[in-house]
Amino acid sequence: MEKVFTRPNSLKDMPMHYCPGCTHGIVHRLVAEVIDEMDMFDRAIAVASVGCSVFAYEYFYCDAYQASHGRAPAVATGIKRVLPDRLVFTYQGDGDLASIGTGEVVHAAARGEKFTAIYINNAIYGMTGGQMAPTSLMGQVTITTPYGRDRENNGFPVRMSEMLALLDGSAYVTRVSVHSPASVGKAKKAIRKAFEVQMAGLGFSIVEVLSSCPTNWGLPPLKALKWLEENMIPYYPLGELKIAAEVV
């Protein structure tokens, strides 16, 4: 019988530690599939960050780094400047990229660093137990906003991709989601395009992926996907935010 669905080579054959229904695993798979399809396994370098995806370096079978909280874009800068012909990508959560590491990603984009950030926006801090993230929605109940996120105390959610799209050094900025089979397909296309932009040397690229955290949202997996669709997408609209003129 012909095998029509199999594990991508760029993904190691091992159980993942993510909670049931967590979409981190889907995004890992998409990245690995794209690396395989572009035949880039030998040149790929993954930079894991600090968050639930801290062990991403175990799952991606290519060479890898584990960076300090928020600083993956600086680590990727150092790697890519030494090895300019490699495919370098960071894999960062929203606490990592949009809070503690805001400075690093903004300046990597401003310099037009030729790596790709895979940015998982799940509107919460997963690993540390469900605290408010800079991306948590207005009114969202988290363990540190038990009465809901309010503007007086916590201000407003950060739309990172919109900010990064403004910088001349960003060549490709897009927001996708993984709440439905159709959106997963689009997410994969976006990752491929970002990697192609990187390898063409056009500048910084980032794919923001709206993702679910059933555990800390306190919802069963399917309801979590529905919550994502109904609450996150209206605030974080999907689509390409920046395509540099050189990108075809």
Residue 43 near which of other proteins, ligand TPP, ligand SF4, none (CB within 5-8 Å, type-dependent): other proteins
CB of 17 within 8 A of CB of 178? no
Please list, residue by residue across 170-197, b when 16 or more beta carbons sit within 10 angstroms of its beta carbon and e when fewer do: bbbbbbbbbbeeebbebbbebbbbbbbb
Helix 181-199 and helix 24-37: axis angle, to 10°? 50
Query: Residue 38 or 219: which CB sits closer to ligand TPP?
Result: 219
In Å, how far are 65, 118, 137, 156, 233 from 89, measured between CA atoms?
A: 10, 7, 27, 28, 25
236 SS3 class: coil
d(CA 134, CA 100): 10
Which part of the chain contacts other proteins (CB under 8 A), choosing from 24-32, 58-66, 118-126, 221-229? Answer: 58-66
CB of 53 within 8 A of CB of 149? no
Least distance in Å: CB of 218 to ligand SF4? 11
Least distance in Å: CB of 70 to ligand TPP? 7
Least distance in Å: CB of 11 to other proteins? 12
Element containing residue 205 per DSSP (H, E): strand 204-210
Binding of ligand SF4 by 52 (CB under 6 A): yes
Element containing residue 30 per DSSP (H, E): helix 24-37
Residue 22 near which of ligand TPP, other proteins, ligand SF4, none (CB within 5-8 Å, type-dependent): ligand SF4
Which part of the chain contacts ligand TPP (CB under 6 A), choosing from 120-128, 162-170, 176-184, 233-241? Answer: 120-128
Which part of the chain contacts ligand TPP (CB under 6 A), choosing from 39-47, 124-132, 140-148, 168-176? Answer: 124-132
Residue 223 near which of ligand TPP, ligand SF4, other proteins, none (CB within 5-8 Å, type-dependent): none
Q: What character string, x for contact with ligand SF4 (CB under 6 A) and - otherwise, covers 211-240?
A: --xxxx------------------------
d(CA 37, CA 19): 28
Q: Which of residues 54-83 bind ligand TPP (CB under 6 A)?
A: 69
Name every residue whose Cβ is closer than 8 Å to that of residue 3 and which is 6 or more positions away in sequence: none
Contacts with ligand SF4, residue ranges (CB under 6 A): 18-19, 22, 24, 52, 122, 126, 213-216
Contacts with ligand TPP, residue ranges (CB under 6 A): 50-53, 69, 93-96, 120, 122, 124-128, 133
Contacts with other proteins, residue ranges (CB under 8 A): 41-45, 47, 54, 57, 61-68, 71, 74-83, 86-87, 103-104, 106-107
